[in-house]
Structure 1
Amino acid sequence: MTPGALIALSIPSPSVSGFHIGPVTIHFYALCILAGIVVAYLIGGRRYRARGGRQEDFETVTIWAVVGGIIGARIYHVITDHELYFGPGRTWYHMFFIWQGGLGIWGSIAGGALAVWLVCRSKDLRFCDLADSLAPGILLAQGIGRLGNWFNQELFGRPTTLPWGLEIAPQHRPLGYLQYATFHPTFLYELIWNVAGACFLLWADRHWRLGRGKLFALYVVTYTFGRFWVERLRIDPANHVGGWRINSYTSLLVFAAGLVLLIWMLRNKPGQTPPGTPEKVPAAEEQDSDADEDRDDDPKDAGDAGTEG
């Protein structure tokens, strides 16, 4: 098939990656991330309220989850691509210039989860309730965020002649691939996988009635399974160990950890805790409850209640 025919059948890439409002540049990548956060917030908030949680608690957790996710994403990027900031000719403090790009999804997940856990500890909330509530929305948000890679013409896969190949402009092609015009649209593969995975999580939560924590573990297994084979397709510059990208190892390790956790929970924590069940009943409430029961059992109280009718 001729190059012209391939282009005719391929997926075009956007010619622009943002727009200007006065002196301010708005990047479509940032808008995709913001849209994903909004979707995760709306879905997660509705699910958390259905579990008996309070909206104000969820809002507090969401704010800190976003902050922790951004910080974690940047830290992971700096660690795995340290040569961009340290060494001859590099400026180390550019690692703080987050607006120049460079975020790692694995750091985002870890940082966000840590922030949620810390808030839950400080506010005496169930971490697993929040994690299960957020899981489907997070996966959907990750899919929406991948659209940003499409606008930026980045993080695509190997060259392909398939009819859904992605057109990449010459200036965005890595060295060694300048002669190719169409590549695997890994952003689309991950988008489809994440949307399907989010639907699966919602279905599983409704039909299997998974207990607290199991749905989040299932989210980890679902996401990492898809992310592993997507990573195997990508050709963008990355650090390799033994011929594999570092993110491939990360995907495999997190998948294994999530699977072990899910199996352990299914075996050792069967069933489902009713939504809204508190961690423990405060002593004062237990005393009030006992006092109420004593009054109900008092014959005098029962007689008085009968005369009121």
Structure 2
Amino acid sequence: MDPVAIRLFGIDIMWYGVIISTGIIIALLLTEYTCKLRDIKYDDVLTIFLITFPLAVIGARLYYVIFEFNNYYKDNLGDIFNIRQGGLAIHGAIITTVLVVYLYAKKKGMNFLALLDVAAPSLIIAQSLGRWGNFFNQEAHGGPVSKEFISMFPEFIQKGMFIDGTYYHPTFLYESIWNLAVFLVLFYLIHKVRKRGVVALSYLGLYSLGRFFIEGLRTDSLMIGPIRTAQLISILGIVICIAGLFMIYKGRKESL
């Protein structure tokens, strides 16, 4: 599996970057549509994106490096800034994004929950596509599986998951499909539900639910002692989702 898409003027353009960039473009196009459903100016959201995106990348990388520092980066400090081979943690990006959007909304007098609602479907579809970057890097896979098991998948998946003589669970594919299903739910909700925050909380809960189980199959999990970090964050996400939806449907006034 060659992680290089093309070589341009002597520079390797990685599939990982191509796929992430494509996901961003699709997400922005979709957000232009969802903004109309919530009467939010797309120009405002585009401004927020231009501010948030580079900070989210930094947050995703910082999150990953923090948990992998003792295992790798303390002896390879120069690689901290090399993201071309992957090493971006989506939870770090999400946490950073929510924080930046909250601060921006508070400063500009915009509704924080409404902004998250219009962004949620775009974010999950970008995540669904972005997992294919992991495929080309042959990372974020699960444990070993038999030839019989992997033969249920298309041949190109079989080849991509054949690493150093062993077949592995294509967990990138499981999450990509799950995220696509979550997108369909969120796309329905943003058309049918007017209560602010429901779409964003549904994103948090549904994504976290799938990620919890898929993370249990992976071999490259970031860890806090014996605990998989992503599973811990996923449990927190599910709790926040349930508590938030309870508050919304109990009629509590929005204060965000």
| TM bucket, shorter chain | 0.7 to 0.9
Asked whether the equivalents of residues 209 and 238 of structure 2 are also in contact (C-alpha less than 8 Å), the reply is yes
- Distance across 1 between alignment mates of 2:231 and 2:105: 31
Q: What SS does the corresponding residue of 2:219 show, helix, strand or coil?
A: coil
Summarize deviations over 1:50-81 as a string: whole Å, max 9, x none: 32222221110111221221111011011111
Q: What SS does the corresponding residue of 2:145 show, helix, strand or coil?
A: coil
Asked whether the equivalents of residues 14 and 84 of structure 2 are also in contact (C-alpha less than 8 Å), the reply is no
Shift of 1:91: 4.1
Partner AA of 2:230 in structure 1: N
Shift of 1:22: 1.1
Compared CA separation, residues 188 and 62, structure 1 to 2 (3 A): same
Q: What SS does the corresponding residue of 1:125 show, helix, strand or coil?
A: coil
Aligned to 1:246: 229
RMSD: 2.2
The 5 A counterparts of 1:287-298 are none
2:199 to 215, 226, 240: 215
The 5 A counterparts of 1:46-195 are 46-83=33-70, 84-86=72-74, 90-92=75-77, 94-99=79-84, 101-161=86-146, 162=149, 163-164=152-153, 166-167=158-159, 168-171=161-164, 180=166, 182-195=167-180
- Distance across 1 between alignment mates of 2:139 and 2:15: 13
Shift of 1:148: 0.4
Q: Which runs of 5+ in 2 are unaligned?
A: none
TM-score (norm 1): 0.73
Q: Which runs of 5+ in 1 are unaligned?
A: 1-13, 172-177, 274-278, 280-309
Summarize deviations over 1:168-207 as a string: whole Å, max 9, x none: 3444xxxxxx5x3x22111111111001110011112323
Compared CA separation, residues 237 and 228, structure 1 to 2 (3 A): closer
Aligned to 1:31: 18
Partner AA of 1:69 in structure 2: A
Instruction: Please say if 1:263 is aligned against 2:246.
Output: yes
Compared CA separation, residues 75 and 186, structure 1 to 2 (3 A): same
Compared CA separation, residues 139 and 151, structure 1 to 2 (3 A): same
The 5 A counterparts of 1:10-21 are 14-21=1-8
Summarize deviations over 1:139-187 as a string: whole Å, max 9, x none: 111000001011111111122232227443444xxxxxx5x3x221111
Summarize deviations over 1:191-250 as a string: whole Å, max 9, x none: 11001110011112323x1411121011100100001111001113643533x4222222
Asked whether the equivalents of residues 225 and 251 of structure 1 are also in contact (C-alpha less than 8 Å), the reply is yes
Percent identical residues:
30
User: What is the aligned length?
Assistant: 246
- Distance across 2 between alignment mates of 1:77 and 1:109: 13
Q: What SS does the corresponding residue of 1:20 show, helix, strand or coil?
A: strand
Asked whether the equivalents of residues 166 and 184 of structure 1 are also in contact (C-alpha less than 8 Å), the reply is no
- Distance across 1 between alignment mates of 2:241 and 2:206: 9
Shift of 1:124: 1.8
